[in-house]
Amino acid sequence: MRQLKKIGFISIVFFLFLGIGEEVNAEGDYKVGTNSLNIRSEPSLKSEVIGALPEGNIVNVLDIQFDWAKINFQGKTGWVASYFLYNSINKVDTFVSVTADSVRLRSGPGTNYPIVAFAKYGDTFSWIETKGDWKNIRLKNGQTAWIAGWLVSSNQEHTSAINPDTLRGKTIILDAGHGGLDPGAIGIGGLLEKDINYSTAEVIKKKLVQAGATVIMTRQDDRYVGLHNRVNISRDFPSSVFISIHHNAHKNTGARGINAYYYHPADKNLTIAIQEQLNKQTPLKNNGVQLGDYYVLRNNHPQSILLELGFITNLNDLSAIQNNQYQEQVANSIVQGLQNYFH
């Protein structure tokens, strides 16, 4: 969750997950991720319902304001709950290849769903999203189906090789949010944000070191480190890149996806470079890049960003967040984003 809200003995703090301030990369085509999404005349649950969108429907979002997305509907302006939209349909460069013969394609993510088609070894499909061990793919006829993840390979798997020289000479301050007496958010099943922040940061550190970077952790274990001390560590290395690692939470369990924040205008391009890779290399919804008025960004040197790597209060996000493969994807995305930014 947001760093301004989580100090001391906080258990759970809820907030509007799209944040305050500027929204970047919010416009575009999104896919409806719930059975029936109400369209309202105004961005409020109290406003009139003027229509509904079925699951899988593609909508063009004109603007996002907090939890609401503005769309065109039958020539009029309508509003839908933004946390039921995701834009993984834009990942046309992400695909899976079938690695077995006579593979069953199903209507849902599990063997209990009806078979809708078959695939053979070598068939390639666009990859839309992941749920557990299953991948949602787009067929050549435009329809979608689900395939078992253990029966395919993806082009994302080829991004794991790290060039050992690309970040040589760069210093990265890696800030695993919360710790010690500050648990951060508390997710489904009692998962503590501080723990998943640290385990993810450890994977990121390994990948950064492989790329030749010098990595400094603001905390080495499960201990409390104040925001002031985190910033002081970073400011001791004024030419470094500061990356604060967090995971989100919301009282609405439908809220999901990755958010990236910056405060100094000079950091916007850095944030976009990393978020673009997170969008390409991870299966979670991309909520874009936003202005974040957080202590560790506001009081830090330039080249400082904060990442919220999914919602631990959302079942789909949580299943990915706790997966080692997802943490590897996040780490690869950050390394590639830094490489693109510096080169």
CATH 2.30.30.40 at 23-88, yes or no: yes
Q: For the domain bounded by 160-342, which CATH number is listed?
A: 3.40.630.40
Secondary element (H or E) of residue 173: strand 171-176
CB neighbourhood size of 58 (10 A) = 12
Nearest to 287 by CA among 342, 248, 341, 329: 248
pLDDT for res 172: 97
d(CA 268, CA 207): 23
pLDDT for res 163: 65
Angle between helices 324-342 and 268-281 (to 10 degrees): 140
Secondary element (H or E) of residue 29: strand 28-32
CB distance 321 to 310 below 8 Å: yes
pLDDT for res 296: 97
Say yes or no: do domains 23-88 and 160-342 share a fold: no
User: What would the pLDDT profile of 87-129 be if each residue is shown by its tens digit?
Assistant: 543 343 456 777 777 889 999 998 899 999 998 876 777 777 7
**Segments in the chain below pLDDT 70:** 1-28, 33-35, 65-67, 83, 85-95, 122, 140-142, 153-164
pLDDT for res 27: 58
CATH 2.30.30.40 at 89-155, yes or no: yes
pLDDT for res 25: 41
Per-domain residue ranges for the chain?
23-88, 89-155, 160-342
